[in-house]
Amino acid sequence: MTLKSIIPMKDISLKELFSFKKSFSNVTMAILTVVLLALFLAGSVMYFIDGHHAYNISREHPWGLIIAMYVFFVVSSTGLCIMSSIGHVFGIKEFEIIGKRAIIGAIITITTGFIVIALEIGHPVTMIIYNILTPNFSSAIWWMGTLYGAYLGFIIFEFIFLVRENHKWSKFFGLGGLLVGLAAHSNLGAVFGFLIARPIANGVFFPIYFILSAMITGSYLLFLMYGFRYKMDFPEEVKVMLTKLAKILGLLLAILMFFEIWRMLTAIYGGMPGRAEVAWHILGSSNFLIGEVLLGMVIPFIVILASKGTNIKGMVWASILGMIGIFFMRYDLVHDTQVMPLQLLKIREYQLPPTFIEYFPSFAEIGVSIGGIGVCFVMYYLADKFFELDHNKKDM
């Protein structure tokens, strides 16, 4: 039995593998990928030489940029999985064409998330062994890791059956991947929601918010994937799908803005120590106002609202801004959760009163995290070369 007998692949030579049309967008993307890969390799080498000393994390701020990027990648994966399920799981015809491209994107982004987090947790192999030998069923992190492992298995089988045009089994594994992915993703939100010592994160908000923001992320990525694939010259069926996707995205963004307003109001109301101060800090930060709100929500929402979802090219460009905003959402989520010190009172006579904890990622952290996007690009390029990701008449 060969790999090609399990999953149909294209026959391409080494020359074909590295050849592509020398258009401006392709060359720009190639250069960007090489730069990001070099950044990733530099960050990884620094980590292997100095270990965690290469990172600017501390006992007071143990989760840094790499954790934020892990969340960024796995949220992207879940979002793509959810949006693909609209077509081949729930049977909405216009979305049946996105299955293969969305699921391979989901596999690639979660794999990149695992690669990035492996350079943070120190002993990833030991973690896998003891995750099986000594499971902690009361830990949200244990559930998250275990469920994400199962989720990856489901979506790999879903992709294999999609490529084999076996829609009965692809629907079965697609439904399994969707259910397990939702469970895993809400558990990732619970990792923050269960933090009783961190009032700004504690509560039911994050498990729900993670699912909502995953769907928004998946929508942005679909606009980018199809915008790049067709170089803004979309076939009619893709145009119809993206128009409907824009309308769904507009609704999701409106709900997300509604969620954010009430999150801030409930955090500020009553002036609860350790929570209200952090909420005011968030509201005054450019990361939140420009990154999360303006780029991540408002600009894409205005583009959709102004054109009633028909400005597809505008949405592709707005999705670039949207993904930058999503990055700030993940970074702020991790940083703002830890910005308030756990010790709020002075314990010695001449000690300065505790203040917000400052953190800025080191070059190694930036290299591993941002460079991880380059790893993602390479895997997507290879997948596009080896597999037939475009839809055919059977998908329509």
Per residue in 62-121, pLDDT (tens digit) is 999 999 999 999 999 999 999 989 987 888 888 888 989 999 999 999 999 999 999 998
User: Residues of the chain whose pLDDT is less than 70?
Assistant: 1, 344, 393-396
Residue 248 φ then ψ, to 5°: -65, -45
CA-to-CA distance for 65 and 223, rounded, in angstroms?
Answer: 26
pTM score: 0.92
- For 145-197, how does the pLDDT look when each residue is reduced to its tens digit (9 = 90+)? 899 999 999 999 999 999 888 888 988 999 999 999 899 888 888 888 888 88
CB atoms within 10 A of CB 101: 24
Residue carrying structure tokens 């990732």: 188
Give Cα separations from 327 to 55, 211, 227, 288 (angstroms): 19, 16, 20, 11
Please give the pLDDT value at position 393.
Answer: 63
CB 267 within 8 A of CB 275: yes
Please give the pLDDT value at position 353.
Answer: 72
Residue carrying structure tokens 């999609």: 162
CB 217 within 8 A of CB 237: no
CA-to-CA distance for 368 and 73, rounded, in angstroms?
Answer: 13
Length of the chain: 396
